Amino acid sequence: MKRHIDNQPLAKTSDLVMFNFGKPTRARLIGGALWLVEAYDAANDVWVWQSESSQAEDALESARQLSLGMVYKSANSPKW
């Protein structure tokens, strides 16, 4: 099992939802508590963090709208 420098196990993805409407995006559950929303950067072949949420519904809607090229703001989004 891979570990961080502090000898803690790396967080594993337990659930993953992919969207590929306009651009590839995904929402994935990390460590059972945090949903990360990421968009694929084909030029650099990496997934780039876009947002995070503790709520699956917010993360999935954010990923879906990001894939469609829309901007999604949930009730829990920061106001900046």
pLDDT at residue 80, rounded to an integer: 40
Distance (Å, rounded) from C-alpha 78 to C-alpha 80? 6
At which residue do the structure tokens 């963090």 appear? Answer: 49
Q: Order of strands, edge to edge, in the sheet holding 34-41?
A: 13-19, 25-30, 34-41, 46-53
pLDDT digits (tens, 9 = 90+) for 20-68: 888 899 999 998 889 999 999 999 999 999 999 999 999 999 999 999 9
9 pLDDT band, cuts 50/70/90, is low
Distance (Å, rounded) from C-alpha 20 to C-alpha 50? 15
pLDDT at residue 27, rounded to an integer: 94
pLDDT at residue 2, rounded to an integer: 45
Distance (Å, rounded) from C-alpha 12 to C-alpha 29? 8
DSSP state at residue 15: E
Question: Would the pTM count as exceeding 0.95?
Answer: no
